[in-house]
Amino acid sequence: MIYLHIPFCKQKCSYCNFHFSTSLDFKNEMISAMAKELDLRQNELENKTLKSLYFGGGTPSLLKVDDLKFLIDEVLKYHTFNENIEITLEANPDDLSQNFLKELSKTEFNRLSIGTQSFHEPDLKMMNRAHNSSEAESSIKRAQDFGFENLSIDLIYGSPTSNVEIWKQNLKKSIELQVPHISSYALTVEPKTALQQWVLTNKISAPNESEQNEEFYFMSGFLKENGFQHYEISNFAKPGFQSKHNSAYWNYNEYLGIGPSAHSYDGENTRSWNVANNQKYIQQISQNIRPNEIEILTENEQFNEMLMIGLRTSLGVDYLKLKEKFSAELLDKSNFEINRKIEEGFLILENNFLKIPEKHWFLADGIASDLFHL
């Protein structure tokens, strides 16, 4: 699979620390550089037939449809598409105009991931989103009108401008809109963000963990009652609408990341990531230089990643795969802590899959980290 990072946004959201620029001055140069990176790296993926192509960011929907189509055509110069390929565009509600969707519907895109975040106006203002609550709803309806049935929306819970009742209304609105996939995340205070500054200066309250915990478990129960599968801690899907792209990450498949700050993985033990600087990226690509750093994962690091990723999913971690991939010495060190977690009820071993019971999913990262080898 291939991920294309489009590093442009209209404005900076208060909670976001991703790499992007609010200036489109070098948009054309960036698109050309990404096309050239695809050329430079055309032989990296072992499997040349793609099951997933994902345009993320940033805000890819800021580009013109012709720009997006150009990048798809560049990918097709070096790769082929599986007949059931999932091609996703991340989009903000305010970009999904009738004209944009009309043109997009004529391309290969077959899935939209819409950055709704909330249908509650005070939430959107606090987050410094470019859209309002009316656009959050109308953009979804417009996308459906143009034939985009495979829709995902992002929702953020645990905001200090919200509460449990407002969160319930957000979820009910999502059901009314018949969205088949929801990715939902607890609001977190990231370093070097406006939200962090507001919390530090007491301009706004820090997110309340106990309230986030309550909202998480209400969401899980409510969405399952409405036909969703809770297949990863932050992801819910109607049958047949699970994200192929994210599922490939969770199954440790190889992937190629194109664009500034994009990450790649060879499916074994090598990760790389491009420089998180637009000008350096464009300049180095123009000189046929890969603007990246490479990391060879140790056995311990590979083990830790498999646990961290796998224990976030409903399937869990394939214990037989752990035995095949890692040394007996490493597993012997782990088994004491694994067995202790099983006795305490924080882990279960079921059909040779190690998993966290759903009632403890809110604690998953901490449970996984207790099993890490440093």
Q: How far apart are the first and last CA of the chain?
A: 30
pTM of the shown model: 0.94
Residue ranges covered by each domain of the chain? 2-250, 299-369
Query: What does the angle CA 217 – CA 361 – CA 317 come to, to the nearest 5 degrees?
Result: 145
Distance CA 96, CA 109 (A): 14
pLDDT at 232: 95
Q: 53 with 88: CB under 8 angstroms?
A: yes
Q: Which pLDDT band, with edges at 50, 70 and 90, does 190 fall under?
A: very high
Residue 27 phi, psi (nearest 5): -60, -50
Q: What CATH fold (topology level) applies to the domain 2-250?
A: pyruvate-formate lyase- activating enzyme (3.80.30)
Which of 24-38, 186-200, 306-320, 323-337 is the least confident region?
A: 323-337
Q: Which pLDDT band, with edges at 50, 70 and 90, does 31 fall under?
A: very high
Q: Edge-to-edge strands of the sheet including 317-318?
A: 317-318, 353-355, 348-350
Alpha-carbon separation of residue 93 from 76, 86, 134, 299 (angstroms):
28, 21, 10, 43
Residue 82 clears pLDDT 90, i.e. is over it: yes
Buried b (16+ CB within 10 A) or exposed e, 3-39: bbbbbbbbeebbbbeebbbeeeebbebbbbbbbbbbe
Residue 374 clears pLDDT 80, i.e. is over it: no
Average pLDDT over residues 211-225: 96
Residue 22 clears pLDDT 90, i.e. is over it: no
Residue 20 clears pLDDT 80, i.e. is over it: no
Q: Which pLDDT band, with edges at 50, 70 and 90, does 40 fall under?
A: very high
pLDDT tens digits for range 99-126: 999 999 999 999 999 999 999 999 999 9
Nearest to 322 by CA among 252, 220, 274: 252
Q: Which pLDDT band, with edges at 50, 70 and 90, does 134 fall under?
A: very high
